[in-house]
């Protein structure tokens, strides 16, 4: 069968149309492939972003976990701080109470001290008054004792020491610009030689009185340089403690009732 020109033209047209359809389909396929490739690439990038987001989320969750832990620790620390603060407040309250009690006790102590100071002042005044009274009494007794000594001592000296002295008197002797008081002073003789009697009157003669008289004698001897001195002490009572030191310094002790 031979192709007629008309049939040939029809076949060519049909083939051309098919080729055009195939070309269009290929172009669409290529575009689709490109689109799919782009989608795959986009998906890949999306997956990478998602992975990054997952990693960020993971780190965020870890940070959140750490933050929650930190917040919990801070809450616990705050709780402990509040407990310590509560204990501190209680301690401060106790301390304030103790300070208040101490202040009250101090106030009472000061009041007692004031009363004690007043009592001491009164006692000091009473002691001073007693001292003045005792001084007056001592002076009275002393003068009375001197009077007895003026009667007893000259006879005792004559009988026991062969010292002749007519009178004994109270005398003030100047030594280095100061006056030394002597209770008994008299000039006499012993075995034809001149001698000066220097005596002290004390109601009770103890070691301390003898020591004091020794110091007085030391000053008197400076004023009576070159004179022979007979030192003595006269009293109502002679304590044993006075005897040794009196003997050491050559001081005669005479009791009032001696004959």
Local mean pLDDT, 10-residue blocks, the chain (259 residues) = 74 77 67 70 76 79 81 81 82 79 81 74 58 50 80 95 94 91 95 95 96 95 92 96 96 91
> Domain range holding 185?
139-255
| 118 in any annotated domain | no
CA 201 vs CA 79, 209, 236: distances in Å: 90, 10, 9
How many C-beta neighbours within 10 Å does residue 177 have? 5
Nearest Cα neighbor of 235 from 256, 214, 216 is 256
In whole angstroms, give the CA distance from residue 205 to residue 245.
Answer: 12
pLDDT of residue 13: 81
| 130 in any annotated domain | no
Do the beta carbons of residue 253 and residue 204 sit within 8 Å?
no
Do the beta carbons of residue 236 and residue 203 sit within 8 Å?
yes
| 46 in any annotated domain | no
Q: How many CA atoms lie within 13 A of 107 on its CB side?
A: 6
Do the beta carbons of residue 245 and residue 207 sit within 8 Å?
yes
pLDDT of residue 77: 80
| 87 in any annotated domain | no
**CATH (domain of 169):** 3.40.1350.10
| 109 in any annotated domain | no
pLDDT of residue 151: 93
* Cα end-to-end span (Å), the chain: 208
The reported pTM is 0.47
| 104 in any annotated domain | no
pLDDT of residue 28: 66
β-pairing, 204-205 with 237-238? parallel
Three-state DSSP at 78 gives: helix
| 210 in any annotated domain | yes
| 26 in any annotated domain | no
Beta bridge partners of 151: none
Beta bridge partners of 181: 172
pLDDT of residue 142: 45
Question: How many independent structural domains does the chain possess?
Answer: 1
């Amino acid at each position: 069968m031979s192709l007629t020109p008309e049939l040939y033209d029809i076949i060519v047209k049909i083939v051309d149309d098919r080729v055009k359809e195939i070309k269009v389909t290929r172009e669409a396929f290529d575009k689709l492939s490109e689109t799919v490739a782009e989608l795959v690439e986009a998906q890949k990038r999306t997956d990478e972003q998602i992975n990054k987001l997952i990693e960020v989320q993971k780190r965020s969750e870890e940070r959140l976990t750490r933050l929650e832990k930190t917040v919990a620790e801070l809450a616990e620390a705050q709780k402990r701080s509040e407990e310590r603060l509560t204990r501190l407040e209680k301690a401060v309250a106790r301390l304030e109470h103790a300070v208040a009690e101490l202040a009250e006790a101090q106030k009472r102590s000061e009041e007692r001290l004031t009363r004690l100071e007043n009592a001491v002042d009164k006692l000091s005044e009473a002691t001073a008054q007693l001292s003045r009274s005792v001084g007056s009494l001592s002076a009275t007794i002393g003068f009375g004792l001197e009077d007895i000594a003026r009667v007893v001592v000259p006879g005792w000296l004559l009988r026991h020491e062969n010292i002749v002295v007519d009178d004994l008197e109270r005398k003030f002797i100047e030594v280095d610009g100061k006056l030394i008081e002597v209770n008994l002073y008299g000039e006499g003789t012993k075995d034809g030689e001149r001698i000066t009697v220097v005596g002290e009157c004390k109601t009770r003669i103890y070691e301390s009185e003898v020591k004091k008289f020794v110091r007085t004698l030391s000053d008197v001897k400076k004023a009576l340089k070159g004179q022979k001195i007979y030192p003595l002490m006269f009293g109502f009572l002679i304590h044993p403690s006075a005897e040794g030191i009196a003997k050491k310094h050559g001081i005669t002790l005479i009791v009032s009732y001696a004959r």
